Amino acid sequence: MPIFDFLRGQFIDVIHWTDDTRDTMVWRFEREGHEIKYGAKLTVREGQSAVFVHEGQLADVFTPGLYMLETNNMPIMTSLQHWDHAFQSPFKSEIYFVNTNRFTDLKWGTKNPIMLRDPEFGPTRIRAFGTYSVKVVDAARFLTEIVGTDGEFTMDEISFQIRNIIVQEFSQAISRSGIPVLDMAANTGEVGGLIAKAISGTIAQYGLELPELYIENISLPPAVEKALDARTSRGIAGNLDDHMKWKAAEAMGKGGAMDQSMGMGFGAGMGMNMAQQMAQSGPWGAMPQTQAAPQAAPMAPPPPPPVEHVWHLAVNGQTSGPFSKADLGRMAQSKELTRDTHVWTPGQDGWKKAGEVQELAQLFTILPPPPPPPAG
């Protein structure tokens, strides 16, 4: 066997990467002296790209497949390296493997409240948080703009920068959207789409894209929520009469027997009290001369009526309300409100189905009154 063929056989090598982590974005193939042997086999798996760097210059990007590293299939190497020996010697180069799979369930959120001008409440502060996914779509750009010569680059090294971009674009998108605060919970999908579109141009400069971005919650500061609760409570004053009638009818239906027994006990107590007063009086029923007639104690004013919740409805992406519980009771009877209708009240964590709210579930189990007795 010719000595040149023997020498070439000694330089054969296999270059590949199997990732056993969940956050590695870029990994550099390590060889002593960065010597890549001529004729080495390069294996690039699905979900990967391989970037070939020769003497600090990006030479080529390999997509999934099996490659033989030779100058005849790497035209740029012919101009970068002169092969003037009888056998092809090792060439000093670097190969970076780039993970092109999606990195999912990444968190983002606003550290400080975002100021916006709401059409109904005026200047308002909100907070938001959610999740997103990121993916490398341009391995060469990502390597040159972000990674540099880092031998092992993880998602944690860039997630902070991406979160800052998301929060910045969220602040601008939510301010320009004009969506009222009370309607944001029903339009999180639309807001998320606006943010993802605004971010795509910025992160494309890094060779990245955001396939998904979700808003899990948008909330108001506690002080603002308290003021909103007080305002919505005042809004039910016009329906307070109907609400109290409905509560009275409900109480009569559930506790009529108890009320009757309590009334009888109250009457008996009043009788005993009058008998004691008559026994202490004189023979003609008058108070003794030596005792002054007791003065009647001032009556305490009745307590204020309890503040009831008011509810907002979300149907087909549109919100309506506020409604009192009495309104919802009539809507349940007319089938305008069902167990699957989404409802929200101040202090509740996001929208819920009416059938899942304990306070409203009873609206769907109230039996209709019996038929009236026959005439005559």
DSSP string, 108-158: EE-SSPEEEEETTTEEEEEEEEEEEEEEES-HHHHIIIIITT-SEEETHHH
208 and 170, same structural domain? yes
What gap in Å lies between CA 344 and CA 351, rounded to an integer? 5
How far apart are alpha carbons 314 and 17 in whole angstroms? 51
* 196 & 321 share domain: no
pTM, two decimal places: 0.53
Number of other CB atoms surrounding residue 85 within 10 Å: 9
Same-domain check for residues 107 and 177: yes
CATH number at residue 122: 3.30.479.30
Chosen domain end from 58, 76, 98: 98
Residue-range definition of the domain harbouring residue 203: 103-220
Whether 93 and 182 share a structural domain: no
Judgement on whether residues 227 and 362 belong to the same structural domain of the protein: yes
d(CA 60, CA 93): 11
pLDDT, residue 11, reads 44
Which of 77, 98, 119 is the endpoint of a domain? 98
What is the predicted pLDDT for the residue at 260?
A: 52
Note down pLDDT in tens along the chain; length 376 residues.
444 444 444 444 788 898 888 889 999 987 665 566 767 788 999 999 999 888 778 888 999 999 887 655 554 443 444 434 333 455 667 889 999 999 999 999 988 888 888 877 778 888 888 999 999 999 999 999 888 888 899 999 988 889 988 888 888 878 777 778 778 777 778 778 878 888 888 899 999 998 888 888 888 777 777 777 776 766 655 555 665 676 677 677 665 544 554 555 445 455 555 555 555 554 444 444 545 555 666 677 777 666 677 878 888 878 887 888 888 888 888 878 888 888 888 878 788 888 888 777 777 776 566 677 777 5
Find the CATH number of the domain harbouring 325: 3.30.1490.40
Do 193 and 56 share a structural domain?
A: no
Task: Give the pLDDT score at 123.
Answer: 83
Place of tokens 């779509």: 137
- Same domain? 52 vs 132: no
